[in-house]
Structure 1
Amino acid sequence: MKTIEQLIILSTLLAVCINPKINAQSSRKELSLSPLFTDHMVLQQKNLNPIWGMARGGAEIKVTASWGETAKTRANSNGKWQIKLNTPVYGGPYFIRIESGDDQIVLNKVLIGEVWLASGQSNMEWKMNHCSGCIDNQDEEIANANFPAIRMFKVPMDLSGKKINNQKWEQANPQNVVDFSATAYFFARELHQKMDIPIGIINTSWGGTRVEAWTSPKKLNELSPTNHIKHQEEDVYEADIEKYIRYNDSVVLINEKNFGFKMLEFPIYKEEVEKKWHEYDFKDQNFSEVHFNDTQWNKINLDPDFENNLFFENLYSKNQSVLEDGTVWFRTKFDVKNPAAIHNLIFSKGIDDFDQTFINGQNIGNTFLHLDERNYAIPLGLLKKKNNVLAVRLTDFIGGGGFRGPAYILSANDSIALPFRDFKYKHQAIITNGYLMVHNYNEQDLQKKIINGENKFLKAHNINEANEYSILYHRMLKPTIPYGIKGVIWYQGEANVGNYEEYTVLLDGMIRDWRSNWNDDFSFYFAQIAPYTYSNKENSQGLRDAQRKILNITPKTGMAILLDIGEENDIHPHNKQDVGKRLALLALNKDYGFDLVDS
């Protein structure tokens, strides 16, 4: 199939000439498809592929494929229908026509090939342009991503289930690939280049999420680490959401009345924060200035265990948890030996979540990506020998915010530590599940009015918490079931380091759960989490050992070894090429009969 790319271009022109009415959107509302079925999609070859949607109750549905296959069914009384369509050996492009009465939907430029589901947390979510320089050879890889037979569908990180309706299958080209999962793209590229057939990827991943969120309630009720809680088997999100919204509206009114500060709507999706950031006034314009008087700010009093990192949770006790999500300013001073030398400011292991960083009053960094190591170049001429001022406005979106590793100033001949015990800090704003309240209280008033006052500050209910038990199974995985797939690639585990001793049981349970729901004993290949020190009490080796044990108890699994590509100060290794390639080697060896050493 050496001319697959040329065939794609030619058939696109023919489809327009032969069938000018071909259109992936129906002009009528009664007939509809699951959002996964769009132009450019890839269907699993030599497979009985489910296709499903909605129609008028009891209506007949007819599906006709241009490779010569036809199938019929009827919608049930609620309008739901599903049909199974036989696919030939890889090839295309084709079109598929779905008809019901006078309604018609036609899907264009459909390929037949190999389809894989990609899932997990941030290292699978990690896009080709997630941040500048955070993929090896990033610019070159994006510029050379011209593979029309590689397509990806991304399930958006949205618990409401609405955003998926605007998604579509995208071809791999320099314009589209920037939003592709890097690991999944390199996996698909390796398969495509080795086999010269179309590859489709369904990417459903969400950063910072634990395996329990991806497992069905039924399975959680069976597993020993989770069966102490009775998990409701139905998806209660839709039933609860309106109740939570009404509650949150009441919370806003009560807090505004009690404290006199306006509560502003704040994005619940991290990727939208940067777009709206300029709209917020934090009433802190002079906090970064060299001569600002910070004598009334709080001094850091850190437990020795936390000298190498600084989290909001270290600063505030459990009864002050309302202060753990929001904006806190930090200031410290430092000296340098040679101000004329080139210096960089490093926040090793990254910041959670966002920062605006200043030295001597000048903004040198503005990052809206959580966890990434910060490496900010300090402009020449900005530093002086004595009493340089570092000021950081750090905003934690939700859960576990702060500096994840040591901070230091680096030059060719010097490394200057910036110990957190020398920092001063001031809490400036509270973020609570979709709302921002800038208070500008000093520490005394903050404690007196918000923490210990007669009227307690009320937290809004989190309507986009991705780590609730089974929430991602219901909202991110279930929409993809039972799309025909060859197998799954999985990159997750970092969020379960804290309960690594349970992970073997949990991951084995999730794999069996997914296979049961698909009614398919598909292959499941996962990436070993790379070395990284999470904290003094949490280390990654326990989780890696739990992953290893999966190979002995769960059939048709494989692990891509990543011990050699981890980065000491970054939980997100930049070398995603080898991650994708090693996962692909497992598939090439175990699924496609290639005689090679996999991983």
Structure 2
Amino acid sequence: MQTSLKLAAIFTDHMVLQRNKAIVIWGQASVDATVKVSLLKGQQNLSTQETQADELGQWQLSLPAQTAGGPFELRVSQADNTVHIQDVLVGDVWLASGQSNMEWKLSWQVDNWQQEVADSSNGNIRFFELEKSYNAQPQSHIPSSGWKIASPATSSEFSAVAWHFAKRYQQHTGIPVAIIDSTWGGTPAEAWTSTTALQTIKGYEKDATDMLQNAQQWQDEFNHNDQLEQQKWQMLDSPDAYADGEILKADFDDSPWTPTNLPTDENTPLSHIVWARKHLQLSTKAQKVKINIGELNQIGRVFINGQQVYKEGWQDTTQELEVPADVLQLGDNIIVIRAVNSWDNRVLIGKKDHFYLQLDDTKLDLSGQWQVSNDIEPKIPDVKFYNWKSGVLFNAMIHPVINYPISGVIWYQGENNVGANTLYSDLFKGLINDWRVQWQEPALPFLFVQLASYLKQQDQPINSDWALLREAQASALTLPNTGMAVTIDIGDADDIHPRNKADVGERLWRAAQHIVLNEDIPYSGPSIKNVEAKIVAGKNVLVVAYEHVHGGLNIKGDELRGFAIAGSNGKFVNAQAVIAGDTVIVSSAKVKQPQSLRYAWADNSPANLYNSANLPAVPFRYSFDQ
């Protein structure tokens, strides 16, 4: 019985092949069948190769490398069965991977996203997104809906960082540029690393060995967990509880519910699917009405007098919004909130000083007692984060594409490894080396984003897990053909997903210009060259010499910030810092004999040192005792 000829799912119309590298094609055919593959341009046959399928019907062959161009046709045949793949381009293909900040789509309210989408028509930029999947064993199936050509109809769902990277790349080179998007928010680096590699990385040996030795048991558990996951997501946005409108009415009997003070805070979260109701008595009508819930973590709906006035997804930021004035009425009004947290089941509603209904110029504080219940709908199933387990994302979302030649990798991840900082340096370098082994390219370019600032800025220097993670990330620069985009200056204290993705893509692109295209351009912010202790004007100072100054050091603002020094007691204090040529002179009257120095060493730093290319300086710490 003849098996239908199939190619791996990455081989579809509109695909992009990597230029200047052998073109690897693979798929499924009848057992022992002869498979012929040709690359054509118009009527011209550029290359043809044949191979024989094995005893499982699997086959793979290579065509000679091509220079950038197209469109081409890829023609694959077995006996009288032929597959035609049209509109094939040859250019530079990049794998974009990591967690949510790389996954973050243009339409998820990134800065200027609507204009970006409107202007996105470009037949030479194409995206291929792998669907989220995890597995206990390496997979060959590629879960995806195929290649997408950049246009206003498609680009809203492109990774914003990858889009800005690809756009700059394509504009500069003029060649086709493709992104293979393999991302999953909230995932750690060990999930993206093969278990064979993890067996050699300190701190991960045991889990990796367990996954290798008990793969089937783990997969059975994963399958059960996936069923619970499906149930959970069906519940999260189900309209069943309010479809008849009864729970939204003012006269609905909520007396059995629990009187609860809102807003909540981190120490008093709610759980499961939460319903909250509050009555408001109004004696006057307003011309302009706004509502601000402050916090709706992380999925929710808000109704006023039975009418939905707001809907928030997990990727949205709660904002003040205008609502139709006629939704309110004289006398009794009812505000109803439905909220649920798909991430950790810790539901937060409201935020101090940002929880109000505004009627013209009058703000009505919504803080205080609400009637609250989480018994209206079934409890959310206990779904485990098995996509965090060692190797499982590598198996399902990286291994299936390791035969596909690429130009390099852009990577944005680390948030989920904050707290495991001492392990991350070896882990991250191990991941890079692992992927280079998998692609059989020891010098495969690997460009990554250093974590942005996050959480509240502190007045005084304190220890920081985020700073330690950034240091661990930077240690990967000791590997060849790596580049780092510093983003310490474009974070958001209140949002782990900063919405400025354009600068992130731009900085990754600069690294690609230098490392991949060998262009002599500024690609890094100022980085520490050395530190010397000196006496200047009668006081002890530390002089930091920088490289990558590219025309000079600059600051944004009226004074240089972000430096801290300590004496032999190890207690850091904020320091004064001034630029002197390609150096920065750092001192403090509180530290007579400085021994240690830090820059941008905080969860969220006010650091503001740049070079003339407007690239921020690299955070660091230095001690004469190290």
Which TM class, normalised by the smaller chain length? 0.7 to 0.9
Tell me the residue number matched to 1:34: 8
- The answer (yes or no) to whether the contact 1:65–1:95 under 8 Å persists in 2 is yes
Q: CA RMSD in A?
A: 3.9
Q: After TM superposition, list the pairs within 5 Å mapping 1:148-547 onto structure 2.
A: 148-159=123-134, 164=142, 167-232=145-210, 267=230, 277-278=238-239, 280-281=240-241, 285-290=245-250, 292=252, 294-299=254-259, 308-309=265-266, 314-315=269-270, 324=271, 326-331=272-277, 340=286, 342=288, 344-348=290-294, 351-352=297-298, 354-359=299-304, 362-370=307-315, 372-380=317-325, 390-403=335-348, 406=351, 408-409=354-355, 422=369, 424-428=371-375, 429-432=377-380, 465-520=386-441, 521-533=443-455, 540-547=466-473
CA offsets 1:318-365 (integer angstroms, 9 cap, x no match): xxxxxx5x311234578999984855444556522x211134554221
1:548 equivalenced with 2:522 (yes/no): no
CA offsets 1:494-553 (integer angstroms, 9 cap, x no match): 2223434432232222212111111113111112222222999996444333323332x3
Tell me the residue number matched to 1:442: none
Q: How much does 1:92 deviate? A: 1.0
Tell me the residue number matched to 1:14: none
Q: Distance in 2 between matches of 1:90 and 1:137?
A: 31
Tell me the residue number matched to 2:533: none
- The answer (yes or no) to whether the contact 2:131–2:143 under 8 Å persists in 1 is no
1:595 equivalenced with 2:520 (yes/no): yes
Give the TM-score of the pair, scaled to structure 2: 0.71
Q: Distance in 2 between matches of 1:226 and 1:504?
A: 13
Q: Distance in 1 between matches of 2:379 and 2:134?
A: 19
Please tell me the residue identity of whatever aligns with 1:392.
Answer: I
Q: How much does 1:299 deviate? A: 4.9
Aligned equivalent of 1:105, options 83, 94, 102? 83
Please tell me the residue identity of whatever aligns with 1:51.
Answer: I
Q: How much does 1:189 deviate? A: 0.6
State the aligned residue count: 507
Secondary structure of the residue aligned to 1:503 is helix
Q: How much does 1:70 deviate? A: 2.5
Q: Distance in 1 between matches of 2:430 and 2:222?
A: 31
Q: Distance in 1 between matches of 2:428 and 2:226?
A: 35
Q: How much does 1:283 deviate? A: 8.4
Secondary structure of the residue aligned to 1:193 is helix
- The answer (yes or no) to whether the contact 1:214–1:471 under 8 Å persists in 2 is yes
Q: CA, structure 1 residues 39+364, in 2 after alignment: closer, same or farther (shift >3 Å)?
A: same
- The answer (yes or no) to whether the contact 1:343–1:409 under 8 Å persists in 2 is no
Tell me the residue number matched to 2:30: 56
Please tell me the residue identity of whatever aligns with 2:499.
Answer: H
- The answer (yes or no) to whether the contact 1:548–1:559 under 8 Å persists in 2 is yes
- The answer (yes or no) to whether the contact 1:359–1:391 under 8 Å persists in 2 is yes
Q: Distance in 1 between matches of 2:221 and 2:50?
A: 41
Is the deviation greater in 223-232 or in 33-42? 223-232
Q: Distance in 1 between matches of 2:349 and 2:115?
A: 30
Q: How much does 1:221 deviate? A: 2.1
- The answer (yes or no) to whether the contact 2:121–2:151 under 8 Å persists in 1 is yes
- Counting aligned pairs with the same residue, the percent is 31
Q: Distance in 2 between matches of 1:554 and 1:116?
A: 19
Secondary structure of the residue aligned to 2:430 is helix
Q: CA, structure 1 residues 563+405, in 2 after alignment: closer, same or farther (shift >3 Å)?
A: farther
1:91 equivalenced with 2:69 (yes/no): yes
Is the deviation greater in 376-385 or in 136-145? 376-385
Q: Distance in 1 between matches of 2:209 and 2:321?
A: 46
Please tell me the residue identity of whatever aligns with 1:137.
Answer: N
Q: CA, structure 1 residues 248+546, in 2 after alignment: closer, same or farther (shift >3 Å)?
A: closer
Q: Distance in 2 between matches of 1:528 and 1:144?
A: 29
Q: Distance in 2 between matches of 1:96 and 1:229?
A: 42
Please tell me the residue identity of whatever aligns with 1:427.
Answer: N
Tell me the residue number matched to 1:24: none
Please tell me the residue identity of whatever aligns with 1:329.
Answer: W
Q: Distance in 2 between matches of 1:108 and 1:242?
A: 40
Q: Distance in 1 between matches of 2:473 and 2:221?
A: 39
- The answer (yes or no) to whether the contact 1:62–1:100 under 8 Å persists in 2 is yes
CA offsets 1:144-192 (integer angstroms, 9 cap, x no match): 1111011111111244889955621111111121222121111111000
Structure 1 residue runs without a partner (length 5+): 1-27, 250-264, 316-323, 434-458
Larger strand share, 1 or 2:
2
CA offsets 1:453-506 (integer angstroms, 9 cap, x no match): xxxxxx6x76x8432322211111111112100111112222223434432232
1:141 equivalenced with 2:116 (yes/no): yes
Q: How much does 1:204 deviate? A: 0.8
Please tell me the residue identity of whatever aligns with 1:114.
Answer: D
Secondary structure of the residue aligned to 1:229 is helix
Q: How much does 1:367 deviate? A: 2.3
Secondary structure of the residue aligned to 1:107 is strand
Please tell me the residue identity of whatever aligns with 2:125.
Answer: I
Q: CA, structure 1 residues 297+475, in 2 after alignment: closer, same or farther (shift >3 Å)?
A: same
Secondary structure of the residue aligned to 2:446 is strand
Aligned equivalent of 1:80, options 52, 58, 82? 58
Q: Distance in 1 between matches of 2:40 and 2:469?
A: 48
Tell me the residue number matched to 1:259: none
CA offsets 1:90-129 (integer angstroms, 9 cap, x no match): 1111112222333322221111110000111222222222
Q: CA, structure 1 residues 366+188, in 2 after alignment: closer, same or farther (shift >3 Å)?
A: same
Q: CA, structure 1 residues 136+65, in 2 after alignment: closer, same or farther (shift >3 Å)?
A: same
Q: Distance in 2 between matches of 1:181 and 1:239?
A: 34
Is the deviation greater in 555-564 or in 290-299? 290-299
Q: Distance in 2 between matches of 1:475 and 1:60?
A: 29
Q: How much does 1:48 deviate? A: 1.4
Tell me the residue number matched to 1:13: none
Tell me the residue number matched to 2:493: 568
Secondary structure of the residue aligned to 2:209 is coil
Give the TM-score of the pair, scaled to structure 1: 0.74
Q: How much does 1:273 deviate? A: 7.5
- The answer (yes or no) to whether the contact 1:335–1:384 under 8 Å persists in 2 is no
Secondary structure of the residue aligned to 1:183 is helix
Please tell me the residue identity of whatever aligns with 1:369.
Answer: W
CA offsets 1:391-435 (integer angstroms, 9 cap, x no match): 32112335244228835246697877766x8555311333555xx
Secondary structure of the residue aligned to 2:91 is strand
Please tell me the residue identity of whatever aligns with 2:94.
Answer: W
Q: Distance in 1 between matches of 2:416 and 2:349?
A: 15
Secondary structure of the residue aligned to 1:69 is strand
